[in-house]
Structure 1
């Protein structure tokens, strides 16, 4: 990748897997799966999970009957994913997918876009996903909000380190969150999208955008109270139910740590995507 080397080091340390197991990461995981299960075509659809890491999302989707194929830039991630039930995996780059045209019913980009700091490379990744999916097939992509580091800086006390403020100032200016001190407990270098950007990139790549939704929403910055909610199954179920009600509210898009953009490849009937389950 053209982005800084600390990205690869971060993921080799297992940062992503650990991040999705508790707190706001757990909410991101549950909400992402919730959106996917309401958006993807019915199983046994064939799904390509690009940048899928060790298979954190591919495994539950495979268990639900999807035919999951995973690609990740890190060979060690692909090897770990290949050990999960129902998942095939190879090392591969989102900008040059080693797959035939139109092979998949859906393509997931749940990580690559926020580690490609140049717009042209992000559009290339979108375009490759569009090539790999069949006409009428879906592309679902995750991005990080432009304002995530600003909010996290206060919630997690990161502004206590005076070197964190320049990182946030740069991110607010041009979207580039550059981790100048990888030894700190900061997220690795990334591109943080303005809420209007993912749809613009997807459209430039030849896809038709149907919806952009929040993942965590503002509650992702609730701190310790969020842990209490997620520790209670009834409260967690209520949180997921109510989040569905407002996930596409435009005024909330900038107040979520992550967004999901749902698009499709033109050339067939418009897929049914109304936010309700297909099955």
Structure 2
């Protein structure tokens, strides 16, 4: 039986602090400037490798302002963004070839088996409880066709520690204490005194395939998005230089699925398929 889209009153709601964080509009430029470009370009090349060659119907869950939806539509895919932030829906809905609507990853406004590909390139960041993450993955499985692909991004457990140390903020006692706490269980708690990020979950890469399995998805691989390159102090300058940029991308590609380095990346993409 096809499940009808849920009404907003039936859907889970986004917590106020997460909504306020994204309503600041930072997602508009986060991946198109500075070191964030490495995440964008690597995610782009990985998805182009993983998605079907022929134009596919893609559901971009938590697609933000449409950074990925824009190039996916440009490649010829039919892209729909579902996002819980009104600002994101407004901006992504203006992109050529992209439709957008409000919705929650845990209660997708989507019919069963309607898509060839479902992307969750952000929702799992903000679901600290395992049952909620499994629920979101199960919704993705419901929405994708048999044989279709589900790709989910997670922030790595020690990404905050590595990044804070790289920036020098780890030497500040309060930041160090908060960062060390996240390293213990992955839970990044909201704090008005620390506006760098909001309520989030930093995952151990090894736990994600089990969550895919619990949602009825067969895990087919994991890929470190930025490798260790994002921790290099000169990475922004390297990305500005076309020759060095390709060397950085090639080096990151070389170790993208190396088990001993998977957790050193800032983000991991986990790929699953509905049987």
Confirm or deny a common fold (TM above 0.5): yes
- Secondary structure of the residue aligned to 1:85 is coil
2:260 aligned residue (226, 247, 251) = 251
| Residue 122, structure 1, aligned to residue 133, structure 2 | yes
| Residue 34, structure 1, aligned to residue 45, structure 2 | yes
Q: Which residue of 2 aligns with 1:99?
A: 110
Q: Displacement of 1:3 after TM fit?
A: 7.0
Aligned equivalents of 1:259, 1:24: Cα separation in 2: 16
Q: Displacement of 1:103 after TM fit?
A: 0.4
After the TM superposition, which residues 1-279 of structure 1 pair with which residues of structure 2 at under 5 Å, given as runs?
5-181=16-192, 184-223=194-233, 225-266=234-275
Query: What whole-Å deviation, never above 9, does each CA across 1:53-96 have from its counterpart, x for those lacking one?
Result: 11100000100100101100012211111100110110000000
Q: Displacement of 1:2 after TM fit?
A: 7.0
* Contact kept in structure 2, 1:144 and 1:257, CA below 8 Å: yes
TM-score using structure 2 length: 0.92
* Contact kept in structure 2, 1:43 and 1:64, CA below 8 Å: no
* Contact kept in structure 1, 2:13 and 2:104, CA below 8 Å: no
Q: Which residue of 1 aligns with 2:4?
A: none
Question: Where does the alignment leave 5 or more consecutive residues of structure 1 unmatched?
Answer: 267-279
Aligned equivalents of 2:13, 2:103: Cα separation in 1: 15
Aligned equivalents of 2:22, 2:232: Cα separation in 1: 25
Query: What whole-Å deviation, never above 9, does each CA across 1:19-39 have from its counterpart, x for those lacking one?
Result: 212233110011000100011
- Secondary structure of the residue aligned to 1:57 is helix
* Contact kept in structure 1, 2:60 and 2:118, CA below 8 Å: yes
Q: Displacement of 1:156 after TM fit?
A: 1.4
- How many residues were matched structurally? 264
- Secondary structure of the residue aligned to 2:211 is helix
Question: Where does the alignment leave 5 or more consecutive residues of structure 2 unmatched?
Answer: 1-11
Q: Displacement of 1:236 after TM fit?
A: 1.1
